[in-house]
Structure formats: structure tokens, C-alpha cells
């Protein structure tokens, strides 16, 4: 697999240095140029390619984007839902839309997948695509495109999505154990990413998607009360942040209450999430642990120290690369798998 952006590390350094003495509007213009170069430079093998549907379904990407935008305009929280849906798909059986299959023991019934959202968006886009070019666009590609569009709509970077994935025919709840857990120590997180062929760098960068995410009180309230079995909270939580979390999630409060994972810029895709991790303001234990581990702390610091403007140029440069790597995990191409007519069931 080759997802190298030739020459862009030098451009990133040049742009970052140049932006130090620029106004906010000048930084925005600079980022627009940077994004254009990024979109034109992503290259990938593994049987995927840019413009895969140009000849047999040229409106495919526009249809997916307009569908995502329609739902986003009605409820902006659908963006992190779609991003998470793609992530959960890729970590189980590869990026083959197996998470979309319905059934008594399918992936989407696994405890790790409770709360997944966005199925109706994918189904809507698929229905439109089947009416326009039947049997051509896979559900797996729709997921990858919807994740990219969700980042873009929330103010993050955009990128060219290599396409050509085919849909899998197997979906088992038992396989969802491959997914990272909010309580995983960094060593376990690193191993789960390595099992997918992803690096420590990919791990930290992709966790940055939590900048637009939310979670339930049930998944972190244990950090706030009696964390050490002596009545104390998790000592890595900032003393200033702890009362805020306790007010949102009291001991007998609603366990399903939703809490933003990035307290400083909820709903905006930027690098402020990493500043929160550095400062002890991460909501999930697994996120906060990235700061205390030697393998991940350095990159958190780099992202946290480069938040100027809409979001740090370094994070904006790295995130699309990491997404292309993740969305290429164990893909099915050529004669493998199928093109489902409905995303919720195999043909």
C-alpha cells in the first residue's frame, strides 16, 4: 500500500512557518490552498482508485454528499455518527459494510456497537444510487464517502477517497471484540490498531475524530466517583474539569446522557481535542491515557501545540492520510464480495 503524499511534508513545514505572522483570514486562504494540494495528492493501491465511478456512475459522490448534507442540516450530530460508523465497519472484517447488515447475531447487535447511528443516511444514499446506476456503487464506498463528507461539513479537511470497495457477505457480533474500548490502556489500543495494519501515529490521529464526537455518561462516569475504590476520581482528570463532568453525570443521573468529547469546540472539527488531552480535560479514559504513554504523548503534544486558526495544519495534513489508510483495511475488490442492492442484507 502506498498512501504517500509526495513533497507535502516540506509544504506543511513551509505553510506552518509562513502562518506564524498571518491574520486569521490569511490563514484561512492558506489552508484552502493546502487542502487543494492535499486532495490532489492522495495515492493508493490495494485495488482502490480515485475516480472509480467516473464512467459508470459519475454522480455517485455528489449523491452521497448531498444526502449527508441533508441529514447534517437537520441534525449536526449525525456527522460524528457517520464517522464512527465507518470506523466500526473497518475494524471488523475490514471496510466491507458488514456493520450495516441486519440480523440476530450481526455486528450491529454487538455491545460494542450499541449507539451506532447513521444507518438511515447510508440507506437513503444507496436507494438514490440504485435508482441512478443500479448494481454499481457499493455500500462500503458509500460509508467511506459519507465519513469524508462528515469531516468536511464540520469544518475539517477534505480529501479524495480511493474507491472500488465491494461489500462483504459475513457479519458476526462475535468479531466486534476487535474494536477499541473506552477503557482500553494504550498498550491494548496500540495492539488493536496494529492488528489492522495501522501505526501508533494512525492511532493518535484517528482518535482526533473525537473532536466532533459525543459519548454516554455510562462510558466514563466510573472515572468521576470511586475510581480507585477509595472514593476518589481518576487523578488524571483536571481539578477544574472534574466538577463540570460530575454536574453533567451525577451518580444517579441518566446513564444515556450525551456529553461532548471536546469541551472547547463541540461540533467543529479541529485540533483543540488534543489540547484537552494534554491538559487533563479528556472525557474518555482511553483518550486521556494517550498523554501519559511515551508511545503517544509526543504526537499529542505536536497536535496540541498547533491549534492556531480553524485547526492545526499538522493535524489537517495527517488526518486524511490516516483515514485513507484505515479505509483501506482488508478491502474486498475485483471479484471479491458483492455489490449489495440493499445495504442491510446480502443479495
Please list the active-site residues. Answer: 88
Residues 183, 189, 190: CA angle, nearest 5 degrees: 160
Residues near 113 by Cβ (< 8 Å), separated by ≥ 6? 88, 99, 107, 173, 176, 179
Q: Is 270 annotated as a binding residue?
A: yes
Q: Is 162 annotated as a binding residue?
A: no
Q: Is 210 annotated as a binding residue?
A: yes
Q: Is 59 annotated as a binding residue?
A: no
DSSP for 92-154 reads: TTSSSSGGG--STTSGGGSGGGTT---HHHHHHHHHHHHHHSTTTS-HHHHHHHHHHHHHHHT
Q: Is 58 annotated as a binding residue?
A: no
Max Cα-Cα span within the chain:
64
Q: How many CB atoms lie within 10 A of CB 216?
A: 17
- The answer to whether the CB of 330 falls within 8 A of the CB of 91 is no
Phi, psi of 342 (to 5 degrees): -130, 135
Q: Is 180 annotated as a binding residue?
A: yes
**Of 148, 153, 138, nearest in space to 53 by CA:** 138
Q: Which long-range contacts (CB under 8 A, 24 or more apart) does 250-253 make?
A: 251/221, 251/225, 253/217, 253/221
Q: Which residues pair with 338 in a beta bridge?
A: 167
Rounded distance between C-alpha atoms, residue 126 and residue 43, angstroms: 26
Which helix or strand (DSSP H or E) is residue 214 part of? Answer: strand 214-216
Q: Is 211 annotated as a binding residue?
A: yes
3-class secondary structure, 167: strand
Sequence ranges of the binding site for Ca(2+):
89, 92, 94, 96, 98, 107, 211, 262, 270
Sequence ranges of the binding site for heme b:
210
Sequence ranges of the binding site for substrate:
180
Sequence ranges of the binding site:
89, 92, 94, 96, 98, 107, 180, 210-211, 262, 270
Amino acid at each position: 500500500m502506498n498512501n504517500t503524499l509526495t513533497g507535502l511534508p516540506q509544504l506543511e513545514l513551509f505553510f506552518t512557518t509562513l502562518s506564524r505572522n498571518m491574520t486569521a483570514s490569511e490563514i484561512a486562504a492558506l489552508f484552502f490552498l493546502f487542502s487543494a494540494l492535499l486532495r490532489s495528492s492522495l495515492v493508493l493501491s490495494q485495488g482502490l482508485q480515485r475516480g472509480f465511478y467516473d464512467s459508470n456512475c459519475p454522480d455517485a459522490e455528489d449523491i452521497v454528499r448531498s444526502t449527508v448534507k441533508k441529514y447534517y442540516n437537520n441534525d449536526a450530530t449525525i456527522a460524528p455518527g457517520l464517522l464512527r460508523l465507518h470506523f466500526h465497519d473497518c475494524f471488523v472484517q475490514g471496510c466491507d459494510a458488514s456493520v450495516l447488515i441486519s440480523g440476530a447475531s450481526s455486528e450491529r447487535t454487538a455491545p460494542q456497537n450499541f449507539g451506532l447511528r447513521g444507518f438511515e443516511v447510508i440507506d437513503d444514499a444507496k436507494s438514490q444510487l440504485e435508482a441512478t446506476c443500479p448494481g454499481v456503487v457499493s455500500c462500503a464506498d458509500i460509508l467511506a464517502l459519507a465519513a469524508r463528507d462528515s469531516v468536511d461539513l464540520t469544518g475539517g479537511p477534505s480529501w479524495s477517497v480511493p474507491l472500488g470497495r465491494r461489500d462483504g457477505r459475513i457479519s458476526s457480533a462475535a468479531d466486534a471484540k476487535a474494536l477499541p474500548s473506552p477503557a482500553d490502556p494504550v498498550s491494548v489500543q496500540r495492539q488493536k490498531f496494529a492488528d489492522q495494519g495501522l501505526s501508533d501515529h494512525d492511532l493518535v490521529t484517528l482518535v482526533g475524530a473525537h473532536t466532533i464526537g459525543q459519548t454516554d455518561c455510562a462510558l466514563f462516569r466510573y472515572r468521576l466517583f470511586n475510581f480507585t475504590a477509595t472514593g476518589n476520581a481518576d487523578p488524571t482528570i483536571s481539578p477544574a474539569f472534574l466538577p463540570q463532568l460530575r454536574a453533567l453525570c451525577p451518580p444517579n443521573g441518566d446513564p444515556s446522557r450525551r456529553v461532548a468529547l471536546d469541551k472547547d469546540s463541540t461540533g467543529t472539527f479541529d485540533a483543540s481535542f488534543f489540547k484537552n488531552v494534554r491538559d487533563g480535560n479528556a472525557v474518555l479514559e482511553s483518550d486521556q491515557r494517550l498523554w501519559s504513554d511515551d508511545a503517544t504523548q509526543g504526537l499529542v503534544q505536536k497536535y496540541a501545540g498547533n491549534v492556531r486558526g480553524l485547526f492545526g495544519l499538522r493535524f489537517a495534513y495527517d488526518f486524511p492520510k490516516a483515514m485513507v489508510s484505515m479505509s483501506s483495511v482488508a478491502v474486498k475488490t475485483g471479484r471479491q464480495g458483492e455489490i449489495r442492492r440493499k445495504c442491510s442484507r446480502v443479495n
